[in-house]
Amino acid sequence: MRVLLVNKFLYPRGGAEAYTLELGQALERMGHCVEYFGMADSRNTVGNSLGLYTSPVDFHTKKPENLLYPLRIIYSAEAKRKIKELCRSFKPDIVHMNNINFQLTPSVIDGVWELGIPVIQTVHDSQMVCPNHLMMSGNGELCQRCIGKGKWNCVFGKCIHGSYLKSIVGAVEGELYRQRKTYDRVSAFICPSRFIESVITRKSRFLGKTVVISNFVHKAVVSTSEKGDYVLYFGRLSKEKGIEIMIKAFNSLGHINFFIAGSGPMENYVRKEAGENVRYIGFKEGEELEKLIRHALFTV
């Protein structure tokens, strides 16, 4: 079977990238032929036979081309054109979408669908029903208003980076793909949890098209590993992960040792607020992270 995996970043960066890269390796071990499509980047660890990628985009830098930010995150004609060219050459049996919004945009779904190739997508966040992807308002409060009452609530709450402009762009993006019925062209949505499935299926268009498959670990779990004396959190250090609540909980359990592994915008907060029983050990990956997981009493 020939499989094209699509993700905006093609190097180890976050959870979606780890999933995409691990999935590709697992498919190849099973004998399938796998190629990848995403953004051009010197850090890419995978690619495709044509060397076709979209132009690099970094919305966090202040460059003249970022003036096109609203247009580029809504619909990328470049991404659509290049993925169609790659599909005509590679001839995949199926295309598996992952994180595609902003840098690639759902235009890639349109491109593949126009060629008559089946599309599936793993739902890594709530983007299909929430313009800021996090189900949080601009002031950091939990929010699901856009799911039930339309995406313009995102604008009223300045939900995307506290900006009216960015929130308008996010709302327009959501409304555009709703009217174009782009996501109707996806044959099935893989949900890593029953919670995310329950969120997206509040929209009737996704009913009957979801399946829950937890994110996997490809290496066998060694149940006989000697356990250490610590509990481990590993992941991104950002507000939507509940880091503040976690630190308060850890600090209140002074008789238990906690290790925190990861990086993100709340790294300084963790360093400052962690109690004596909480140790921040930085970003970990590969065998070092696997060893920490094996020897933890349990993970958060």
Annotate 105-132 with three-state secondary structure.
CCHHHHHHHHCCCCEEEECCCCCCCCCC
> Could you tell me if 111 and 92 are in contact, meaning their C-beta atoms sit under 8 angstroms apart?
no
Residue 92: its pLDDT value, please? Answer: 98
Domain layout of the chain by residue ranges: 2-212, 230-295
**Domain 230-295: CATH class, spelled out:** alpha beta
Residue 69 has pLDDT above 60, yes or no: no
Q: What is the pLDDT of residues 128-176, one digit of tens each?
A: 888 888 888 877 788 888 886 677 888 888 888 888 888 888 888 888 8
134 is written with which tokens? 């996090």
2-212 and 230-295 have identical folds: yes
101 pLDDT above the threshold of 90: no
CATH topology assigned to domain 2-212 = Rossmann fold (3.40.50)
Contacts of 195 (CB under 8 A, 6+ apart): none
Q: What is the pTM of this model?
A: 0.84
